[in-house]
Structure 1
Amino acid sequence: MNDASGKAHLRRLAAARRDRLTAVERQRKAAALAEAAPTIHRLARGGVVSCFSSFGNELDTAPLIAALDRLGCRLALPVVGRKGHPLTFRPWRPGDEMKPGPFGILQPLPERGRVEPSLFLAPLLLFDREGYRLGYGGGFYDRTLQEARSRRKILAIGLAFAEQEFPRVPRESYDQRLDGVLTDEGIVRCQGGGIAHSLPW
């Protein structure tokens, strides 16, 4: 099995794990995730937190985002641009007008301008405790984190169901490690992922 077919198999495995969760379980897990909002707020240290709108069977981020907004976090959502380029981010709060972007995912309006997050909340299909994540194959977050890390100090935290943990995620030289992963069972501090050793949790 080559790398491409191996990752395709793991993506199907991850999707099947998510599909097995009931609506009640999903609601409970989303609420549990939101309980970590004070920790995320503290880690952001007044900087912008990039969130993402849940898509398909992803963990529902709405309760966490609402909790961060109540705490006064400065929030942003990603905007997909040209293929092969990093994401950009626009300021956003729950209730702000949005429109569908590529892949049908809602994103803030262009007139909102741009911001540079200091803490990235990243979607994923699978993760391991070394900080590697398996995404959807577009490479958007790897490029985005690489570009951001080349210019400033950031934190990258994945959001996932606990069931999305995997013993070892395949990795390439261009893959960007996460500093931690927030699941419905708590925060996983990833070993060896950039500045993870200095995180105050």
Structure 2
Amino acid sequence: MTITADIDEAKRAMRREATARRREIAAPDDADPLLIDNLLGSRAVPDGAPVSGFWPIGSEVDMVPVLRALAARGHAVALPVVVGRNRPLVFRTWREGDAMAEGPYGIREPLESAPEIAPQVLLVPLLAFDRAGYRLGYGGGFYDRSLAMLREDGPVTAIGAAWAAQEVPAVPHDQHDQPLDWMLTERECFRIAGGAS
């Protein structure tokens, strides 16, 4: 077995465990204000920077209230759109009340008529994370490709968003895995050592 195959198998095993663990997490009743306060109380999002969030699926942490708070502070807010397998995401503007469509994987997305933007900050969903800044996603590589593409054009801050209970000692990773710069949970928002400020 090659090193890459070993890493892929370790990721698959961790994905199964992390998915089951996340389903059992009981979101605190005050999760929305905790997440908002933790993010806005940090230096993770520069003033006026365009921000992409994500529409929650299943037991993911809900970033919609955070996106509302950022929009109220004057940030352009976007949501990701899947345009094809093995392709980077497209980011389209989103405002409260905008019409949405169901995209691949059952995720709500802005309509094709919504303008595209290049976010400077991405709130990134995940199944597990570690303190070194690595995240375990769902295995499609969409965020890794998107972050790599965006970072070619300039600095982009990646903020993982999850429940604190999703932290693990170490996430298996390879050269294609784009690291996070910050991590947001209901308990804290912390900068990853070496991450973008």
After TM superposition, the score normalised by the length of structure 1 is: 0.89
**Whole-angstrom distance in 2 between the partners of 1:130 and 1:3:** 17
- For residues 1-201 of structure 1, the aligned pairs below 5 Å read 2-22=6-26, 25-39=27-41, 43-193=45-195, 195=196, 199=197
**Whole-angstrom distance in 1 between the partners of 2:128 and 2:31:** 16
**Whole-angstrom distance in 1 between the partners of 2:183 and 2:103:** 26
Judge which range, 183-192 or 42-51, deviates more: 42-51
Structure with bigger helix share is: 1
Relative distance call for 1:169 and 1:130 in structure 2 (3 A) is: same
What does the per-residue CA deviation read over 1:134-163, in whole Å, with 9 as the maximum and x for residues that have no partner? 000000000000011111111111101001
Judge which range, 86-95 or 64-73, deviates more: 64-73
User: What amino acid sits opposite 1:189 in the alignment?
Assistant: R
Q: CA RMSD in A?
A: 1.8
Relative distance call for 1:39 and 1:75 in structure 2 (3 A) is: farther
Q: Is the 8 A contact 1:37 1:67 kept in 2?
A: no
What does the per-residue CA deviation read over 1:72-106, in whole Å, with 9 as the maximum and x for residues that have no partner? 22100001012111101111112111111111111
- Percent of paired sites with the same residue: 42
After TM superposition, the score normalised by the length of structure 2 is: 0.90
Q: Is the 8 A contact 1:49 1:120 kept in 2?
A: yes
Superposition misfits of 4+ residues, deviation over 6 angstroms: none
Q: Is the 8 A contact 1:41 1:68 kept in 2?
A: no
Relative distance call for 1:84 and 1:65 in structure 2 (3 A) is: same
Judge which range, 173-182 or 64-73, deviates more: 64-73
Give the structure, 1 or 2, with the largest relative contact order (CA under 8 Å, sep 6 or more).
2
Secondary structure of the residue aligned to 2:29 is helix
User: What amino acid sits opposite 1:94 in the alignment?
Assistant: E
User: What amino acid sits opposite 1:139 in the alignment?
Assistant: G
**Whole-angstrom distance in 2 between the partners of 1:154 and 1:92:** 19
Secondary structure of the residue aligned to 1:27 is coil
